[in-house]
Amino acid sequence: MTDIHNEEVLARIAKGLVYTESEAAFQAPLRRTEQIFEYSLTPPSESERRRSLLVY
């Protein structure tokens, strides 16, 4: 998919319009990176929060 297509999908997402998971698949690597970062910054004492981040 092209960058233009990705931008169109992001615009639909931002507007709350319908899109398919396959159209938004280009975001998957970024989502994983952000989830790993968030998990890493969560203190061990927040075990429920850490656990919730592992459940996708």
CA 7 to CA 5: how far, in whole Å?
5
| Burial bucket for residue 15 (CB in 10 Å: 0-12, 13-18, 19+) | exposed
CA 31 to CA 53: how far, in whole Å?
12
Range of the domain at 11: 3-54
Confidence class for position 1, pLDDT limits 50, 70, 90: low
Q: How many CB atoms lie within 10 A of CB 9?
A: 19
What is the pLDDT averaged over residues 2-10?
85
Number of domains, the chain: 1
Are 39 and 53 in contact by the 8 Å Cβ rule? The answer is: yes
The predicted structure's pLDDT at residue 47: 93
